[in-house]
Structure 1
């Protein structure tokens, strides 16, 4: 029987002392093995590094603060797994997340990436933001043709949960490339658009496999800066689509 392929879990973190231990506990509670866990400390000035070092089996990489995209790219560069997963330091994996998503990819060799359903955890006193809950139900998204333009257009509705939903094949990631450090807030959305455009195939699993934590710190970034980056991202995509038509 062929051994199970190695899965690399990349955790980018900046000043994540409040939640990092719980995130790492959830990774080590996975029913899938073998895994490697890579924490990329993006210039934290709290106890993030100390917490990461307290976990046996964590590979800690420390860099100057360069942003989440650069931290993810550093983790990708160091990862050895055939499958790459991501977990933001304030999110949690359910125990069967990796096994369910990797099994789905192994059963569908033409599929390059898997997205999983999420459950939202609100910290006490945090009101649901206006942008939450506007995504396309995963059951509907699962029926979309990821290679079609209409499917690509709907990607922004499929997920509002970020990279913690993702498991991707290494060869797909190498073909598409990493994250654009020009984006501080929407690098994940830009990357997912590129996955969709590549025709790699995206498997959307309807079951809840991870928990997303909404708290005061991560809500502050969902305002003007994010809106501006969204506009910049959409403009880039529109210009890219117009370019072939203009040259023909």
Structure 2
């Protein structure tokens, strides 16, 4: 039986620092046959020009519309039996596609095979980025097996499954992969494997990272409220409790000045935060040593505060806004999903 054509779909918006490495890694895969489609979401930097220098197909959205629309446009133009979505800040290992295809062919019950990020960044910009990459690695390693959401930045989906589930919700800009995973997991297994890997160029500044995590946590609330259970994967009960404990630590700090007994509560809350992700802290200690662990713990504390604050704000918004509660309604205007564009194929 002939190997299926794989369509590698790379959405891009202003990732000029990494798009070249991303596309080059896709071109350097051990698997054939593949086609590579870059969908530029109306970038304002030089990333579109960088993509056009490679022997790949390059499309462009009419306006900046979000990664869901870009992925949908790429899927509409794709000819492959398997769609491999990879974000433009990820560089795949050379065998990533070959391994993912083998998994899908061996397990027709899988709706998607998702990979993980390496524990080293694609571009080493700052200690914040090194901490965030280690955190993301540990969370994904803890999620190996079946999950109920999609790691859409590094995932392979059979075309027949994508056509059945439908496109990404074009109204969502931050949590489209959570919505898509929820829809898919009612019919198919979504599997995370550490055999499919890529290196990720993550956020390198703390405040932008915290803002992103805050927004994503807030926007997850309507879906979590509808589902009324924790997701399978890294959004576990213990990790959620750890995030809430970090917020409790922050809230209790002013009381320490008023009463020394309050320091006991602060210490207990900090212990809960560390215990909720104990395997992650042990891994960082083994990998980087105690000095780096201290810095890592501070960054992890900040990200936990951002996540728990986002959940708290989202819960309040869910109580007062019917529109927010309906954020994940299944229907959206058909005009929001792009038709197959006119495509100019780049020379091989």
TM-score by length of 2: 0.58
Report the counterpart of residue 195 of structure 2 in structure 1.
Answer: 207
C-alpha offsets along residues 89-142 of structure 1, whole Å, 9 cap, x if unaligned? 11110000010110111122232211223213343324224974663635x732
Aligned Cα RMSD in Å?
2.5
Shift of 1:163: 1.4
Q: Partners in 1 of 2:103 and 2:137 — Cα distance?
A: 26
Q: Greater strand percent: which structure?
A: 1
Are the equivalent residues in 1 in contact too, given 2:18–2:201 (CA < 8 A)? Answer: no
Which segments of 5 or more consecutive residues in structure 1 lack a partner in the other structure?
145-153, 241-248
- Count of aligned residue pairs for this structure pair: 222
The answer to whether the Cα contact below 8 Å between 1:30 and 1:98 also exists between their aligned partners in 2 is: yes
Where in structure 2 are the equivalents of 1:97-112 lying within 5 Å? 97-112=96-111
Partners in 2 of 1:186 and 1:233 — Cα distance? 10
SS at match of 1:163: coil
Which one of the candidate residues 58, 63, 73 is aligned to 1:60?
A: 58
Q: Is the 8 Å Cα contact of residues 117 and 136 (structure 2) preserved in structure 1?
A: no
Q: Judging changes above 3 Å, is the alpha-carbon distance between structure 1 residues 181 and 79 closer, same or farther for their aligned structure 2 residues? A: same
Q: CA contact under 8 A between 2:144 and 2:191: conserved in structure 1?
A: no
221-230 or 182-191, larger mean C-alpha shift: 221-230
Aligned match of 2:209: 219
Which residues in structure 2 correspond to 1:159-238 (within 5 Å)? 162-198=151-187, 200-216=188-204, 219=209, 221-238=211-228
**CA offset digits 1:127-175 (Å, max 9, x no partner):** 224974663635x732x5xxxxxxxxx535xx7xx31331010011111
Does the residue aligned with 1:189 lie in a helix, a strand or coil? Answer: helix
1:28 Cα deviation from its structure 2 partner: 0.5
- Inter-partner Cα distance in structure 2 for 1:234 and 1:126: 32
Check if 1:50 corresponds to 2:54: no
Are the structure 2 counterparts of residues 184 and 236 from structure 1 closer, same or farther at C-alpha, using a change threshold of 3 Å?
farther
Q: Any conservation in 2 of the 1:183–1:229 contact (CA below 8 Å)? A: no
- Partner SS, residue 45 of structure 1: coil
How far apart are residue 220 of structure 1 and its match? Answer: 5.6
Q: Which has the higher contact order (CA 8 A, sep 6+)?
A: 1
Q: Which has the higher helix share?
A: 2
Quick one: distance in 2 between partners of 1:19 and 1:225?
Answer: 24
Structure 2: how far apart are the matches of 1:23 and 1:206? 19
- Does residue 137 in structure 1 map to residue 141 in structure 2? yes
Task: Give secondary structure in 1 for the equivalent of 2:120.
Answer: strand
